[in-house]
Structure 1
């Protein structure tokens, strides 16, 4: 009887080790994106809105760069656009994880931003490198300002409580500002009608932010 009990106990331990080994990659993958501290229902609603619109923004930015690459993929500007796009892909992946871990519904408007983002990127790229850079400046400036607004809100709430989330948002804000500055360095402002195009794009960005928070 003792031998049988020992054998059964060993089998249980082996099974538990196997389960932990199988689950380890999932835990490691998800942990960095669990950036929400314990919150009440009102705070959860606020954070859900923030993450929903941030996810939508990064999704739209990815589609814009995809549109630019569809037009300028063989030009001298392609490596620069691809480099910025790779950063946006990392942003989107991180927000995908945040939404999944915290069970946040993405905006129902993603299909619209899928098409609108690609068309915006492609149409401005048809104006040449300067057009693509002008679009980048306008979009990244809008996203940076939106991230700054979120940072101020979280700092006013409790900077210690939201330290991990603030770290993520600040990192992404800095990347977007780098893209903005890159666009200016590559002659965005030399595009005829630059200010008109920039204001039109940023008006669209404000509409996208407003609706993505709510729908």
Structure 2
């Protein structure tokens, strides 16, 4: 039974690394597209976008480096993330500075939520990956807060609608690019969180 649990945990850990790597690649493409537009239209935003891009490039490489030890591989359709990310970044940047901040808040907010569940799952299973993700989460939270501070009407209809569209699009691309692994990973992480909560309540 323990061996079966270990194998199941190892599979979930492979999925975590795979999904995170794909997501970071998509983020790289989003920020590159936004920088291309911002240099021409909103130069005051470029410094933040370039710093964030550097973080995402580093995160992507860190997850790539974490793959061999966990027998994980990049998803087979990275072009979907690349093209989808570039299109999302380009379109939201054309909407103005608020489009950039809404996009950043939506993407980084989703990332922050997923990383919380991953950290809970990894705490006693893969301390090395847990430490890596915790460090990355700190930077992602910085991106999120920067965007939230600059949203003029975060609860307005246009802002909420665009936020929901970006979140939905991100989840769809994640599911397609990982052949459903993102859904299976989320289900496994949810079950792990529920088990932990039940143990605390007992």
TM-score, normalised to structure 2's length?
0.78
Deviation string 1:34-86 (CA, Å, 9 cap, x unpaired) is: xxxxx943332111111100101111111100110111124111111111111
Structure-2 separation of matches of 1:210 and 1:147: 17
Matches within 5 A, 1:172-211: 172-187=136-151, 189=153, 193-211=158-176
Structure 2, unaligned runs of 5 or more: 182-202
Structure-1 separation of matches of 2:157 and 2:50: 25
Deviation string 1:157-184 (CA, Å, 9 cap, x unpaired) is: xx2x422111111111121111011011
Structure-2 separation of matches of 1:188 and 1:197: 14
Structure-2 separation of matches of 1:54 and 1:112: 15
Cα deviation, residue 189, structure 1? 3.5
* Counterpart selection for 2:33 from 32, 42, 67: 67
TM-score, normalised to structure 1's length?
0.74
Cα deviation, residue 101, structure 1? 4.5
Structure-2 separation of matches of 1:192 and 1:122: 22
3-state secondary structure, aligned to 2:67: helix
In structure 2, relative to structure 1, the CA distance for the partners of 1:44 and 1:207 (3 Å cut) is same
Q: How many residues are paired up?
A: 173
Structure 1, unaligned runs of 5 or more: 1-38
